[in-house]
Amino acid sequence: MEMIWVEKYRPKYFKDIKGQKDIIARMQAFVKTMNMPHVLFAGPAGVGKSTLALVVARELFKDTWRENFLELNASDERGIDVVRIKVKDFARTKPIGDVPFKIIFLDECDALTREAQQALRRTMENYTKTCRFILSCNYSSKIIDPIQSRCVVFKFKPLDKKDVFMIIEDLAEKEGFKIEEAAKEAIYTVSEGDCRKVENILQSCAAISSEIKEDTVYSIASAAMPKEVTEILNDAIKQNLAEARKKLLSVMLDKGLSGLDIIKQIQGVIWKTDTENLVKLEIVKLCGEIEYRMVEGSDEFIQLEALLAGIALIRHGK
């Protein structure tokens, strides 16, 4: 029976998922054997967690996947009643069709209250014969240990540059727009491996022009171009504070950047500046302190001017 299933098995949807090769290979193995444990997907947003859960359901259940798959977003329904009523009612019934179990997909389950998580642990044990759980979260540390011990944990990572480029090129071919190499690099930098962000930026850029350039990407993403941030940093290092302050205010007002946005970009280009390593370390340390002050409610313009002054003093001290 198992050999017949394996022979018939042809992965239709797995091939469309980019990145996460090791995780996909292991999930394919579960689908081939028509068996799987409870699983926990953990990782940043936009890297394929929800998509993989849907793919597993469609590969396992084929035409009956809607009847055997329950998706709940725990950030909307996060109380204990969701586990006691919706989850338990679905889990206790037998699957429809020639399939061994149902699947309950709890998205953003790190938003579940601790009481709901405690109720969930018993439900996962009691209905294992008829139901499997796929839990998805951004931070696995927010999931209680008893639930983690009942699951196989898969740690997702941001998409690699080659995967992001593959997505961009595939969309460019299908949608009929052109994109230069520098713009691809910009999209990868701005998206930080988030596939949703990649597609949103591309859609916005393509609506403006059929030829996407680097400056268009940074404009749409409300981010400063790296060369602009580098100029600000170099002026501060050279103690040219008036020019550094002028450029900083211009970039922030023109691009609509917040103080946290610009300081993250400054921190990202520090290592590319032409100065001593010890100076770079001191600047990074100063960025961390200024960022903390902003989060605590300090005025961002005053703090950014303090950052520029601090960088000049660090360089002067060396």
10's CB contacts (< 8 A; 6+ apart) are: none
Domain with CATH 1.20.272.10 in the chain: 226-317
- Percentage of residues in the chain having pLDDT higher than 70: 92
CATH number assigned to the domain covering 2-155: 3.40.50.300
pLDDT score at 268 = 83
Domain with CATH 1.10.8.60 in the chain: 161-220
Q: What is the sign, positive or negative, of the torsion defined by CA atoms of 44, 48, 51, 55?
A: negative
**Residue 92 binned pLDDT confidence (cut-offs 50, 70, 90):** confident
Whether residue 2 has pLDDT greater than 80? no
Cα 125 from Cα 134, distance rounded (Å): 14
SS3 273: coil
Whether residue 54 has pLDDT greater than 80? yes
Cα 214 from Cα 308, distance rounded (Å): 27
Whether residue 9 has pLDDT greater than 80? no
CB atoms within 10 A of CB 203: 12
Domain with CATH 3.40.50.300 in the chain: 2-155
pTM: 0.79
If you ran DSSP here, which 8-state letter would residue 110 be given?
G
Q: How large is the average pLDDT for residues 125-151? A: 90
Whether residue 128 has pLDDT greater than 60? yes
Q: How large is the average pLDDT for residues 268-297? A: 88
Correct CATH for 161-220 of 3.40.50.300, 1.10.10.10, 3.30.70.2190, 1.10.8.60: 1.10.8.60
223's CB contacts (< 8 A; 6+ apart) are: 190, 255, 257, 261, 265
Task: Label residue 297 left, alpha or beta by phi (over 0 means left) and psi (-120 to 50 means alpha).
Answer: left
Whether residue 281 has pLDDT greater than 80? yes
**Residue 40 binned pLDDT confidence (cut-offs 50, 70, 90):** very high
Mean pLDDT of the chain, nearest integer: 85
Give me the residue label for tokens 């998205």.
Answer: 107
301's CB contacts (< 8 A; 6+ apart) are: 249, 259
**Residue 32 binned pLDDT confidence (cut-offs 50, 70, 90):** confident
Cα pseudo-dihedral 300, 304, 306, 307, rounded to 10: 140
pLDDT score at 288 = 92
pLDDT score at 224 = 83
CA 272 to chain centre: 25
Q: CA-based angle 253:254:255, to the nearest 5?
A: 95
**Best mean pLDDT range from 82-96, 184-198, 251-265, 303-317:** 184-198
242's CB contacts (< 8 A; 6+ apart) are: none
Whether residue 111 has pLDDT greater than 70? yes
**Residue 317 binned pLDDT confidence (cut-offs 50, 70, 90):** low
Task: Label residue 241 left, alpha or beta by phi (over 0 means left) and psi (-120 to 50 means alpha).
Answer: alpha
Whether residue 212 has pLDDT greater than 80? yes
Correct CATH for 226-317 of 1.20.272.10, 1.10.10.10, 3.10.200.10, 1.10.340.30: 1.20.272.10
